[in-house]
């Protein structure tokens, strides 16, 4: 890579409370001239942007990037390429860019696709990531529970396309975290009811945000209209 290329930083900004950003993440967000972040749904402000607002200034260039919430690989790739092009227009001039990522940057994050797309065309591009608070840890903290203890096995399912997958996971895991639970909540509830496990399950919606909600005693909640930012923890026993 030629001289004078900027560095791309992937900065984890945590799950909602701006104070959950690391000191290093905050410093980088304040020092770079350009801040990129995913555009929210329907062109609204995204969560990462809301979280970093107290830490950045009006003088810094804001670069909202569009990443569609769908599965179509072709559409996704096009969006990653467009985002990479926008980011590269600054990096190529030697200007550093920080991408603010909700939760942790290495945990099911769009940043990885952006970084991989750029790396393909510019293999020597300097990229650095800053780790942060991720939703399973945030949810455990909100619930006042340890996420795992002793020899417990932890399973994290990024999305559940088939509720029968839970049976297989339940055969070896002691603690199961379901991301993106909002779209399958009712089916999961029915499964847990059949297995008599509703008392072991908890849902946290919008952890560390002003709209944060906790759902325990799930027997009383066969359906819930949950936001995308909701997570379920199924904890099969804390005494091992
Ligand atoms: C694509 S994943 C991104 C995970 C993120 N990078 C992290 O470290 O937590 C999105 C899922 O994470 C979970 N999630 C993220 N932030 C959350 C929050 N503040 N409260 C509850 N769940 C959250 C939800 O299950 C959501 O559907």
Query: Residue 162: what pLDDT?
Result: 83
Judge contact between 227 and 216, C-beta under 8 A: no
The residues with which 63 forms a beta bridge, in sequence order, are 36
Q: What is the DSSP letter of 122?
A: -
Helix, strand or coil for residue 61? strand
Fold assignment, 135-235: 3.30.950
Query: Residue 3: what pLDDT?
Result: 60
Q: How many Cβ atoms sit within 10 Å of the Cβ of residue 10?
A: 27
Query: Residue 240: what pLDDT?
Result: 44
- Residue 137 Cβ contacting ligand 1 at under 6 Å: no
Fold assignment, 8-130: Cobalt-precorrin-4 Transmethylase; domain 1 (3.40.1010)
Mean pLDDT, the chain, as a whole number? 94
- Per-residue pLDDT reduced to its tens digit, 116-149: 999 999 999 999 999 999 999 999 999 999 999 9
Count of residues making up the chain: 240
Domain boundaries, the chain: 8-130, 135-235
- Alpha helices per DSSP H over 92-228: 110-121, 135-143, 165-170, 185-194
- Residue 102 Cβ contacting ligand 1 at under 6 Å: yes
Query: Residue 6: what pLDDT?
Result: 98
Q: Which residues of the chain have pLDDT under 70?
A: 1-3, 238-240
Query: Residue 1: what pLDDT?
Result: 54
Please name the residue that has the structure tokens 């409370």: 17
Distance 60 CA to ligand 1 centre (A): 27
């Amino acid at each position: 890579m030629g001289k004078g290329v900027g560095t791309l930083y992937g900065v984890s900004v945590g799950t909602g409370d701006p104070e959950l950003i690391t000191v290093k993440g905050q410093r980088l967000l304040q020092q770079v001239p350009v801040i990129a972040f995913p555009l929210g749904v329907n062109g609204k402000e995204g969560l990462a942007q809301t979280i970093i607002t107290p830490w950045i200034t009006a003088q810094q260039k804001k670069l909202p990037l569009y990443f569609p919430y769908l599965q179509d690989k072709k559409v996704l790739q096009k969006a990653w390429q467009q985002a990479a092009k926008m980011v590269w227009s600054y990096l190529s001039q030697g200007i550093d860019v920080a991408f603010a990522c909700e939760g942790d940057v290495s945990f099911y994050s769009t940043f990885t696709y952006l970084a991989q797309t750029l790396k393909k065309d510019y293999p020597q591009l300097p990229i650095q990531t800053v780790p942060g608070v991720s939703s399973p840890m945030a949810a455990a903290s909100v619930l006042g529970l340890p996420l795992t203890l002793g020899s417990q096995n932890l399973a994290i399912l990024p999305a559940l396309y088939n509720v029968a997958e839970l049976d297989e996971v339940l055969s070896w895991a002691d603690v199961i975290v379901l991301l993106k639970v909002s779209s399958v909540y009712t089916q999961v509830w029915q499964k847990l009811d059949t297995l008599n496990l509703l008392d072991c399950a908890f849902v946290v919606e919008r952890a560390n945000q002003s709209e944060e909600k906790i759902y325990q005693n799930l027997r009383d909640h066969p359906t819930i209209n949950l936001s995308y930012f909701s997570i379920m923890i199924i904890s099969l026993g804390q005494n091992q």
